[in-house]
A and B are shown apart, each in its own frame.
Chain A
Amino acid sequence: MRHIIHSIISSLSYDPANPLLFNSVFFLFFFILVTLFYPLVVHRSRIRVWYLLLASLYFYFKTSGSFVLLLLVTAGLNFALGAAIYRAETRRGKRLWLALSLLWNLGSLGYFKYTNFIIDTFNQLFGGSLPMMDIFLPVGISFFTFQTWSYTLDIYFKKIRPLSSFKDFAFFVSFFPQLVAGPIVRASYFLPQIHKKLCLNDETIARAMILIFAGLLKKGVIADYLSINFVDRVFENPALFSGVENLIGVYAYAIQIYCDFSGYSDIAIGLAALLGFSLPINFDSPYKAHSITDFWRRWHISLSTWLRDYLYIPLGGNRKGKPRQYLNLATTMILGGLWHGASWNFVFWGALHGVALIFDKAWLSLKFAHYRLVKFLGIIFTFHFVCFAWIFFRARTFEDARTIVWRITTAFNADLFSHWLREYRIVGIAILIGFLAHWQPDSWEKSYQDLFRKMPLPIKSLTIALVIWILFQVRSADLQPFIYFQF
């Protein structure tokens, strides 16, 4: 008994080796506890804000330890600067305060995320030997920085008025469902909900549950299994694998990153909904896109709209002539690429998408492009272009990315496919299920919801218990042994 109490108490503190994830047992109990007492406070909005704020700060503490202070400082500064922008009477004054907000947000993001990248680039360009710094990247910094930043920007663009209570603002920034991996919620979207009278009906519960199931299965089954059992190996040493394995690796990565990222977003949206809050949709079956423009309307929507509204449009958008529009597109996509991580690979990935968007503008202006058959071919082409770009996104170095392309184009060895399928049956099945689920008609989702809504409560619980059991099986499965094909 003492052991149990001890392990419960020790599990409450921050463990850098095991940051809190949605698909962990700890989170399940955390969420049960939060929802258990939530009905007592849900209709008293001031206490409700305190309640969720403290729960969220604890959640972030479990994920990132003392960086919870950074979160509060960033929130505090942007809160103060938001008020200052609003109060400033001249345009110059407003700009000055906005510049300060920009400086802090870009500065903190830059310091944690890009210092070593800049040092490394400097060393390579000028043959210097500046030492790398040992900087730990706080979880979710890219997300919460963009959220706090949207607040000062929205005030500057006069879309919202500043909040009077820092507690409310801190709650908006730290709300735990979306805190570490998005969606990036705009101040203008979320602030009005803070003191709203919340309600929850069976319809919403069913929709939320389906999102949580789908998210858990996408993240915990498809993404985690594929990553550790196949994708990581190929991208670690692409030269060790034949072209056909590299190609499967790229396809598998395409479904893995989608499942990983959108799965986490889905869970976030579902959890928030169970607490009565609405978060914007973040992924809309992106591989159904028939053009790159369409892809970016479906992939990480909260980021692409953020970049559109706060970068592309302020740069001039499409209002200053074609050449300027193309330049704006490229700039936006390159910076968007860099947002994903600090390396030239991400820059290149962003640039690829930027060029594709420019091409798209010309292409979509043709009538021909909107024929049904052309659109269908567009889905296939777009998917493959996106996959091609993923190679650069995922590969550790540019050299590795080139190796993958080189293996696929010069050492394909198609006859290995049947061997591969025999040895990697489960990986093959996981990829297939991933894509089939992705390409299923949108209408099916509604019918799952209806089905779930009609279930009696114990059956609902049993369904979740089954999902937990499945997650356990995948997480404790033996690793697929390294199979090499002699070719």
Chain B
Amino acid sequence: MKKDFLKPALIFALAAILAGLLAWVIPAYQNDLFPIRKMTWFSALAEPAAEDSIPSLPEPKHYQQQALMPFLEKLSSMPTLAGQMGIISSTPDSGRVVPSGQHLRIAYFSDSIIEGDLITAPIRYALQQNYGGHGVGMVPITSIVSGFRQTIRHSFSRNWESISFTDTHKNHISLGITGYTFIPRPYYTEAKTIDAGAADSLFLADSLFFEAEQDTLVDDDDDGLIRYYVDEDPWVEYRTVDIAGGSDSFRRIRLFYSHASDSSFVRIFHDSNEPTQRRLIASHHLQILDISPASPTKKLRLEFPKDDPIHVYGVSFDDKKGAYVDNFPSRGYSGLYFQRIHSGLLKDFITALNYDLIILQYGGNITHPDNTDYSGYRSALIRTIRHIQSSAIDVPILIAGMHDRAVRIGTQFQSSPDLPLLISAQSEAAEETDAAFWNVYAAMGGRNSMLDFVNQNPPLAGRDYTHFTRRGADRIAELFLDFLAFESTAPQKEH
């Protein structure tokens, strides 16, 4: 009888030994469906974790933070709303004034981590609390995440062609400032798949591209997608949402477009009023149509003729005064080859929108745990920054470094080991181009801080150990404001 009770121990003990044997015998096997790894069994106990091999982070002393000075100075001299404290310390006599005609605007470019107005909405909210402002800034015509965005209710018909950074074969069509160009079509196409974590193919193809002639408008049908023809005119509709980072009404509304013909027009519906029809100006340069309502409204609908392939870039909701943060996410995008926004158009946009700061926060579609060389990336990033600088003279550029992201190493999640290299490449590119640099990775808490983000309750980041939750994005926004406050008080560095 006793012997029976020994059986489980024997079975399990032998199993533990056999598992060691299996670990030893079965090799790793790479395949597409499910890669087999070499099992670590007893060896996991014996080997100390290889922390020493992780490269170190760049030294902050090289950061060109003086590039931010014009922006910080403007921020500290902007009049704040009565009774509010400035985001950063202001000179004693400039506070407590009703906002005058001052306008502050930030273009925040990034990948999927700011989709749905994450990070940008809380920054906008904080700035508008201090400096006033009505509106969410520039909004694209269609968006894959319109249902996710909470700061504006945004809907649209399906028959818009949307061209983005990732549509490499449409190189001749310049993108707008949003990173997209939208063309009214009598049809829509089937869904596309975008991998938000994979390396952006643009990075690999970067050297092949050149800035194409702007006027060679070719109707490029070669996208291999099935078209479904429809009868309705393409439309887009926006409604205000009165939450933090949103706004309770539309004040100034401007439509940005180009490539209209003499017969082009747009139908405009404010709230539930009768539509008005406005002529568009035929030109291949950026055109701005002011369609502001006579008094603040809550709903806007635009309709375009389906057979008129004009280039529509987006609608800006703002006011003449106050602070604005434009949310420009491009899913799956590496941040390289900004040349897809052609110089002339970029310049026109930057002048029209009067930016005070351009932020580029990328890296999520570049990082890979096995990467050890980011010199090619660094050069491409320098080209991108120079391209923007040539169109945005005197506008400070801030490079926000890659945030912490964890991957599985063995059975454990750890920071991707390449991140310090990637972040170094980013800070070097910033240094080389006199752009400022914000080390998001360090601000989050450095190595393995993503694990803390994921394990918070409620979590600050998703279980892909890459994307932030709304709460986590609020945290990043806080860190950004802390960074601005810190830089404005930090003693000037020697350079």
Interface residues of A (CB under 8 A from B): 3-4, 7-8, 28-29, 31-32, 35-36, 38-39, 42-43, 198-201, 205, 208-209, 227-228, 232-233, 236-237, 239-240, 274, 276, 396, 407, 411, 413, 415-416, 419, 422-423, 425-426, 457-458, 460-462, 464-466, 468-469, 472-473, 475-479, 481-487
Contact = CB atoms under 8 A, between A and B. Distances in A.
Nearest to A236: B462
Nearest to B410: A476
A191 to B, nearest CB: 22
Nearest to B15: A464
Nearest to A237: B148
B33 A425 contact: yes
**Interface size range on B against A:** 35 or more
Contact of B192 (A31, A237, A485): A485
A232 B195 contact: no
Contacts of B194: 483-486
Nearest to A5: B45
Given A199-B1, A200-B5, 6 more contacts: A42-B5, A232-B462, A407-B147, A460-B15, A468-B15, A481-B197
A483 B196 contact: yes
Interface stretch (B169-177, B201-209, B289-297, B464-472): B464-472
A232 B190 contact: no
A481 B11 contact: no
B227 interface: no
Contacts of B35: 477-478
Contacts of B191: 413, 415-416, 419, 485-487
27 contacts: A3-B48, A4-B46, A7-B45, A8-B45, A28-B12, A31-B12, A39-B5, A199-B4, A200-B7, A205-B8, A237-B116, A240-B145, A415-B191, A422-B193, A426-B34, A460-B11, A460-B15, A461-B14, A469-B22, A469-B23, A469-B39, A477-B34, A479-B408, A481-B197, A482-B197, A482-B462, A486-B144
A240 B331 CA distance: 12
A42 B2 CA distance: 8
Nearest to B148: A239
A465 B21 contact: yes
Contacts of B18: 458, 461-462, 464-465
Given A31-B12, A476-B411, A237 B23 contact: no
Interface string B12-27: 1111111101110010
Contacts of A416: 191
A23 B185 CA distance: 55
A466 B112 CA distance: 40
Contacts of B6: 35-36, 39
Contacts of B83: none
Given A477-B34, A482-B466, A35 B411 contact: no
Contacts of A486: 144, 191-194, 331
A481 B467 CA distance: 11
B463 interface: yes
A208 B1 CA distance: 18
Which 10 residue pairs spanning A and B have beta carbons closest together? A464-B15, A465-B18, A461-B14, A35-B9, A481-B197, A239-B148, A465-B19, A461-B15, A274-B8, A486-B192
A28 B408 contact: no
Interface in B181-229: 190-198
B418 to A, nearest CB: 15
A208 B4 CA distance: 14
Given A461-B15, A472-B411, A484-B194, A239 B116 contact: yes
B458 interface: yes
A472 B192 CA distance: 34
Contact of A419 (B115, B193, B196, B459): B193
Contact residues of A: prevailing secondary structure = helix
Given A233-B462, A464-B11, A473-B37, A487 B144 contact: yes
Contacts of A473: 34, 36-37, 39
A199 B6 CA distance: 12
Nearest to B37: A476
A198 B407 CA distance: 48
Contacts of B408: 476-479
Nearest to B1: A199
Contacts of B193: 419, 422-423, 483-486
A156 B281 CA distance: 87
A485 B147 CA distance: 13
B493 interface: no
Contacts of A276: 5
B61 interface: no
A200 B148 CA distance: 57
B9 A481 contact: no
Most A CB atoms within 10 A — which of B48, B112, B408? B408
A469 B112 CA distance: 36
Contacts of B5: 35, 38-39, 42, 198, 200, 276
A35 B7 CA distance: 9
B495 interface: no
A465 B22 contact: yes
Contacts of B33: 425-426
B490 interface: no
B4 A201 contact: yes
Given A35-B8, A236-B469, A487-B144, A396 B196 contact: no
A457 B46 contact: no
Nearest to A33: B9
B411 A236 contact: no
A232 B190 CA distance: 27
A462 B17 CA distance: 9
Contacts of A457: 7, 10-11, 14
Nearest to A242: B191
B73 to A, nearest CB: 37
Contacts of A29: 16
A473 B22 CA distance: 12
Interface in B421-437: none
